Amino acid sequence: MAYVAVKGGERAIDNAHAWLAEDRRGDPAVAEIGTDQIAEQLGRAVDRVMAEGSLYDRELAALAIKQAQGDLIEAAFLLRAYRTTLPRFAYSRPVDTAAMQIRRRISAVFKDLPGGQVLGPTYDYTHRLLDFALAAGGQPPPAPEAPADDMRMPRVSDILGHEGLIERDGAPDGEPGDLTREPLAFPAGRDLRLQALARGDEGFLLALGYSTQRGWGGTHPFVGEIRLGEVSVEIEPPELGFAIDIGDMTLTECQMVNQFAGSKTVPPQFTRGYGLAFGHAERKAMAMALVDRAMRAEELGEDVKAPAQNIEFVLYHSDNIEATGFVEHLKLPHYVDFQSELETVRRMRADAMRMQEAAE
Amino acid sequence: MKTDDTAARRHWMSVLARASADDMRRCLADCPPLPDHVTLRGPETGLVMTRGRAGGGGAAFNLGEMTVTRCTVRSGGQIGHAYVAGRDGGHAELAARIDAALQDPALHDALHRNVVARLAQEQAAARAEAARRAAATRVQFFTMATMR
């Protein structure tokens, strides 16, 4: 049921959308924003919309942000709707984050790891003071450069793994499930959990990750490593019979390292949570890694007590497109539903009053 | 196709996928014109579901989709293919035409020199610049120096 079913609704909707378009444009005396400006200068918003829209395309995400007036969940919704119009050509080969072209790579547990601590373009260590010079605009000076040795940057998990003190990645085989093809079913394997987390709402995952730090399913986390940079995407088209690169994409990866007391079958060691997100999305990757580890509680023989450890709870509520759909549908007309509820409440009240009168 | 040929073709396809249509047109200006072609498929835009691995090296999982545009052409006796990230049909078509032409021994050398090698060099230079910027943000710990 929608307003169009009501006489006069159609015109009201058209007029409302016309006003929305004008409202979106804002004061015509102010220059209109270009999607290229959004893609270039609001990159973190674009990254978030790509991640939660689960579609890597900077131009489309920028357009969605413009169309949604900067409402990032609405923008992600637009991307999700758009993707349903396109055919699926292929699955990529798993990206190799060890071969990433590194822009940033830090570890909070090893100072002197091979490849070193590379800060990259980060907000860390800024003072979070508003920069009024930015309001005036202007060209920043070019970023300094330094000789780049050809040092490899092994993932920190591969370095510590050699001593057996940290759990390994596990077998690299098996065909992963795909949430976009089959509805979510439980128990959900780690493949499905990671897919859901990668497209999950950053705010929801941040809050859940935070809750684990505060004791709701404590995991004693350390940032083993965060890396940001570009990886190549490879597919193997059947008509070619060999793998080809189709381009690069920017990813943020987080290896969270967690204390683990051991169990009957596993000696004490560090366990791991994993985060991987489209774009430069450190908070998202970290939150994802915390929640990934929390959801492994049952697998590792820990008590499942906290919300972040409850796989069903997390996976059913992490998708902000589904969440916003269900919450926001409440504002659509429920006239008939409500009318029937009204009848019911009236009848119950009448019954209750009759009972009371009879008792007196 | 022989292994060496496959490796060479993989290389030029990756270079063409990372270039823009404008980049390719600029380089083609110094080459004999590309032969006429017939478009067999596309250009059409679709999706690739990208994958990661749990922990970086474990079991695969589906990370999210990306847009990709593909095109297949025939020019001369060669079939050219392209799959390029994004939604630029012109990019995919041009990449497919160059892929076909590069398989023609008569055209290969000039195209490889003026287009593939030049674009590969530009892409390597861009990567090197990013690496130098990253290197400038590498933390130099002085602890060891002062302890000596």
**For residue A4, pLDDT beyond 60:** no
Instruction: Please report residues of B whose CB lies closer than 8 A to that of A178.
Output: 49, 62
Amino acid A153: pLDDT:
84
Cβ-defined contact of B135 to A179 (cutoff 8 Å): no
Cβ-Cβ contacts under 8 Å, B127 against chain A: 101
Alpha-carbon gap: B31 to the closest alpha carbon of chain A (Å): 24
A126: helix, strand or coil: coil
- Please report, rounded to a whole number, the percentage of residues in chain B having pLDDT higher than 90: 84
Question: DSSP of A13-70, one letter per residue?
Answer: HHHHHHHHHHHHH--TTSPPPPHHHHHHHSHHHHHHHHHHHTEE-HHHHHHHHHHTTT
B88-115 pLDDT, tens per residue? 999 999 999 999 999 999 999 999 999 9
Kindly determine whether residue A94 and residue B131, on different chains, have CB atoms separated by under 8 Å: no
Range in A59-63, A332-336, B45-49 the model is least confident about: A332-336
What number of C-beta contacts closer than 8 Å exist between A and B? 236
Residues on chain B touching A92 (C-beta within 8 angstroms): 48-51
- Nearest Cα neighbor of B94 from B30, B42, B146 is B42
Give pLDDT, residue A2: 47
A245, A284, A295: best to mutate for the B interface, most B CBs within 10 A: A245
Answer for the pair A310, A208: CB distance below 8 angstroms, yes or no.
Answer: no
Q: In A, which residues are within 8 Å of B68 by CB distance?
A: 89-90, 235, 246
What would the pLDDT profile of A182-229 be if each residue is shown by its tens digit? Answer: 988 888 999 999 999 999 999 999 999 999 999 998 778 999 999 999
The string over A86-96, giving b where at least 16 C-beta atoms fall within 10 Å of a residue's C-beta and e elsewhere, is beebbbbebbe
Task: Please answer yes or no on whether B132 and A102 come within 8 Å at the CB atom.
Answer: no
Is the CB of A57 less than 8 angstroms away from the CB of B129? no
Name the pLDDT band for A1 (thresholds 50, 70, 90). very low
Residue A335: pLDDT above 50? yes
Q: Which two tokens stand for residue B50?
A: 């990208």
Mean pLDDT of chain A: 91
CA–CA dist B25, A14 (Å, integer): 44
- Report pLDDT for A6: 56
Flag whether pLDDT at A265 surpasses 80: no
* CA dist A278 → A139, A172, B40, B99, B126 (Å): 28, 21, 33, 30, 21
Answer whether B72's CB lies under 8 Å from B42's CB: yes
The CA distance from B97 to B79, in Å, is 8
